[in-house]
A and B are shown apart, each in its own frame.
Chain A
Amino acid sequence: MVAGIIMLPRRAAARVLGVIAITTCIVVFAPPSEATEISSPIAARDLQSIIDAKILRVAVTRFDLPAFHAHRFDGNLIGAEIEMAKQIGQALGVGVEFIENADSFDAVVDLVASGSADIGISKLSQTYARLRHVRFSKPYITLRHAMLFNRAAIARDANGQPPAAVLQKFHGRIGLTANSAYVEFAEANFPAATLVEARTWEDAIESLLVGKVDVIYRDEFEIRRILKNRPTLNVQFGAAAIVDQYALLSIAICDTCSKLQEFINYHLERTKNGFTLKTLLDSEIGK
């Protein structure tokens, strides 16, 4: 290659050197990789920089989260979370841009942590792992953890006891969504269980229906939504709520954005937003 360059006429060699120089510049000045960014976020980012940019960048999952956010037939986003983001933008006096290329809940947090988004709203639970990279607002809704369980399978293990006795110390196979907060929750709450991570929540439900797992684990809204939309499952499958474990659904905020966090908390406190389990279950978008 070096020999090739030497053999080139002067004009062509200059063109090649130019390409090398541009490439070097791109490598040097391009945004750092995600891992690098998480450890060293842009320090200046906060409320004022968003107001100056006149745009609030909001990360949401690529996939729909019925009752929280979903894509309309024309591709536009709708739902309670979308309304909440727009209200925050309005309160800030800036426009809202939705970044919807996150394939998982963790990816939404990563977008915020990497600076690609200012906030993330996608039914995000606060977890220890996430709190290392981003801030969270106060919860806009608190949901109990819940399980949908195969009645026959749990009864087999129960040996005449109520199902709660088995579920409390569950040691079978738990289905859950990969890259979701529930992986961390399940590891902490059911250390003896085998976690079966499905790509999507629908896949996790399917694994319960075909008997690959005995239990699926998420929040009370999602469990009740399954039975509400498919009541025939009530005979074979039961719903259990965990009374001392809560999903604190909050807005992920960039790690340096303390003023923005304060602003959002004030907004949530003031508007209350109307997130309740009942309204979510009754939501047309939840069906």
Chain B
Amino acid sequence: MAAPGNVGVRSSLKALSQSINRPSITLAAIVLALALGAMRLPFLEYLRPIGDFYIALLKICVLPFLLSTIPLAVRSAMVGGSAGGTLKSLLIWLLIALITVSAVTALVTSLIFHYLPADEHMIANVGALVGHSTDSIDVEFAIDPNGMPQSTVGMETGIFSVIPTNIFAALSLNDSVRVLIFAVIFGIGMVMTERQSGHSIFGALRHVQAVCIVIFDWFNLLVPIGIVALIAPQIALLGPDAFTVLALFAYAFLATSFLLLLTAILLSALSLRVAPATVFAALLKPMMLGASTRNTLICIPTALETLKDDLKVKSEICDLYIPIGFATIRFGTILYFIVTTLFMGALMGRSFSLIDLGLVAAFAITASFATLGLNGIAALGPLAVVLRPFGLSYEVAVPLMIIIDPIAEIIRVMLNVVINCMIPTFARSVRFGK
């Protein structure tokens, strides 16, 4: 049992954190970051180490938090006897969300490119941009099939890449997917042995979780500074020339993203029967933490706190879905891959039928899973899976996407956070098979 003094300290810390992270301050920090970034002032590069330091602080407790939260969530679901129903409900809503996000993205983007087609001038500018940003050789091959070095030798592929064969190695490598899978399997095993022997370490895990939350509360005091230090240099990376050339892509990507963000907030409000402004204000903190750190996993504790404390979503559902959903379901990447594919189609004069759009959406969902464990530019690799079946050049797309990635990465993480947060709100209100 916690001492009254400790509880008082923690609640005052929480109150201070809430005061510092109230929507008005968060929004002001975003506006300041955007304005500084747009001005492209030289001193912004000096903010980058501050931002990196902030991200490093936030990462301290992510894996211990996952290792404690997931077994607790598994136990909560299994002991309560609602595991089957909760899982079924979450899976169905997840499937609906995946289909809806990909379908809306494909349709809205294709409509945008239909009414705002790429003209010759823009294609010429994009070509020039690609030419200046690459070394001009985009494919290397050998006439002798044995002439190319095998770069993938020794790499684990497919299902083996997510099996936690060595949990300690996974922890040391920050391999969150393997850690998650281990935590789920270990959580199920712990519940079963608890039933047999009566012994358990769930109490200790609950304590570890509480410690992690306290540490996150400390670092949350720095969120506004983190937003400015991380977003401003990132915005400054994107020069006005690049934006002018890639304006069509940016319009489609931003328009579709904000449409989906808005829809997710509205649907969450509808599901929770609260005002959209309330949901927006609550989700602003995890959303902006994601935007500034460009790391979805870091937002897990804040998102859980927001959903459970501010929006009153059932703890059991949130604890079960949010860590797994944040680590594995990348709505932002799905949207990004679809928009990129349709943009490349517009550049190269390829049109898409409805069946093509469906296939683009399906390939984008599949490719998004291949980005697990990857961040930033490395996560663009699986884009080839979406582009190549339609005869579109991955080699042209990558340099363009690298140029716009500083902004796109921010939006992708915001989408991951908000849409993943929407799913437990639905699973809470509508339970299938009940």
Contacts and interface: CB of A to CB of B under 8 A. Distances in A.
A239 B136 contact: yes
A152 B396 CA distance: 12
Given A224-B136, A227-B131, A155 B392 contact: yes
Interface size class of B (residues with CB under 8 A): 20 to 34
Contacts of A227: 131, 136
A246 to B, nearest CB: 11
Interface in B90-143: 123-128, 130-132, 134, 136-143
B388 A235 contact: no
Given A155-B393, A158-B388, A163-B395, A235 B123 contact: yes
Contact of B396 (A224, A234, A241, A245): A234
B136 A228 contact: yes
A244 B388 CA distance: 25
Contacts, number: 107
Interface size class of A (residues with CB under 8 A): 20 to 34
Given A160-B389, A167-B139, A231 B127 contact: yes
B139 A244 contact: no
Instruction: Give the residue among A167, A224, A227 with the most B Cβ atoms within 10 A.
Output: A227
A25 B389 CA distance: 73
A4 interface: no
B386 to A, nearest CB: 10
A146 B393 CA distance: 18
B139 A163 contact: yes
A14 interface: no
Contacts of A233: 127, 131
Contacts of A240: 137-141
B191 to A, nearest CB: 44
A43 B145 CA distance: 45
A242 B141 CA distance: 5
A220 B137 contact: yes
Contact of B388 (A149, A162, A231): A162
Nearest to B123: A235
A276 interface: no
Contacts of B130: 231, 234-235
Given A224-B137, A228-B136, A234-B127, A244 B143 contact: yes
Nearest to A229: B131
A238 interface: yes
Contact of B145 (A149, A151, A163, A168): A168
A236 interface: yes
Interface in A221-255: 223-224, 227-228, 231-236, 238-245
B131 A231 contact: yes
Interface string B258-285: 0000000000000000000000000000
Nearest to B347: A235
B143 A242 contact: yes
A163 B127 CA distance: 19
Contacts of B124: 232
A243 B395 CA distance: 18
A161 interface: yes
A162 to B, nearest CB: 7
A199 interface: no
A151 B396 contact: yes
A239 B131 CA distance: 11
Interface in A134-175: 146, 149, 151-152, 155-156, 158, 160-164, 167-168
A185 B79 CA distance: 72
Instruction: Give the residue among A164, A235, A238 with the most B Cβ atoms within 10 A.
Output: A235
A106 B107 CA distance: 57
B348 interface: yes
Contacts of B140: 164, 240-243
A162 B127 contact: no
Instruction: Give the residue among B123, B134, B391, B395 with the most A Cβ atoms within 10 A.
Output: B391
Contacts of B131: 227-228, 231-234
B137 A244 contact: no
A220 B134 CA distance: 15
B392 A238 contact: no
Contacts of B142: 168, 242-244
A245 B144 CA distance: 9
B384 interface: yes
A122 B177 CA distance: 58
Nearest to A149: B139
A189 interface: yes
Contact of A155 (B127, B138, B144, B388): B388
6 contacts: A151-B395, A158-B388, A163-B139, A234-B127, A234-B128, A242-B140
Q: Which 4 A-B pairs have the closest CB atoms?
A: A231-B131, A155-B391, A232-B127, A164-B141
Given A162-B384, A162-B388, A231-B128, 15 more contacts: A149-B139, A151-B396, A155-B392, A158-B391, A167-B139, A167-B141, A189-B143, A223-B137, A224-B136, A232-B124, A232-B127, A234-B128, A234-B134, A238-B138, A240-B141
